[in-house]
Chain A
C-alpha cells in the first residue's frame, strides 16, 4: 500500500475546477516538500508542481498546489479534455529514508 493516500478517481466537466488530495503523515508530507506529477497514457510522468506550490516554467497557471499539515492538494481550474490523466503526489519520507509516491488519481473529464 502506498505511503501517501490519494482517491483513485476524480472527475469534472470542461471549465470546472477540481481538486485532488494527498494524505500523508508527520514523517513525510508535514516536514518535506510535496511534488505533483501528471502522467498521460503511455508516457513518462511530468512534473506540475514542486516544493508544494511552485510551477515549473511551461506549466499553465490553471494548475496550483497547496499543503497544510500532513495533507497536500492539487487544484486544476478551467478543466480541459487534455487534462484527463493520472496524477501522483510525491515527497520524501524521513522514516523510510526514501522517496514515496501516492497511489495516483485518475482524472476523467466528462
Chain B
C-alpha cells in the first residue's frame, strides 16, 4: 500500500519561502507518472498547485506558476514543493498526492500539512 507523508515548517514568514517534502513509502516514485500538490485554505475548497513526473516534467497552476517549483529526488523516494514570496493567502493545508496513471484520479493522498503564513 502506497503511503505519502508531508513534512516541513508549519509557520512561514510573509515574503518568505514555503518548502514541503512528500515522502513516499510502499512503492517507488518511479512507478507512477504524476505526483501532485493540492492545497486547501481553512474553510475553503481544493486548489491544485502543480505536479511532476518521475522523469522531471512539470505542470503548474497558472496563477502560481511564477512562484512555485516542484522537484523530485528519486534516490530518496521523495518529491518537494517550493512556493516563494508567500502571503497570508497561502495559508492552507497542503496535501501531496499520487495520480493513478490509467484511471487519471488522485489515488493516494498524504494526510496534509497545515502551513500558516504569519509573522
Q: Do A and B bind each other?
A: yes
Binding site for B on A (CB under 8 A): 2, 33, 35, 37, 39, 43-45, 47, 50-51, 54, 56, 86, 88, 90, 96-104
Q: How many residues of B contact A (CB 8 A)?
A: 24
Minimum CB–CB distance for B25 against chain A, Å: 16
Known: A50-B104, A51-B103, A54-B103. A99 touches B45 (CB 8 A): no
Known: A47-B106, A51-B103. A99 touches B36 (CB 8 A): yes
**Residues of chain A contacted by B100 (CB below 8 angstroms):** 50
Q: Is the CB of B109 within 8 A of A45?
A: yes
Known: A33-B104, A47-B105, A50-B103. A98 touches B59 (CB 8 A): yes
Q: Can you list 7 A-B pairs, Cβ within 8 angstroms, ordered by A?
A: A35-B105, A44-B97, A44-B109, A99-B51, A101-B38, A101-B45, A104-B46
**Residues of chain A contacted by B54 (CB below 8 angstroms):** none
Binding site for A on B (CB under 8 A): 36, 38, 45-48, 50-51, 59-62, 95, 97, 100, 103-107, 109-112
Minimum CB–CB distance for A68 against chain B, Å: 19
**Residues of chain B contacted by A100 (CB below 8 angstroms):** 48
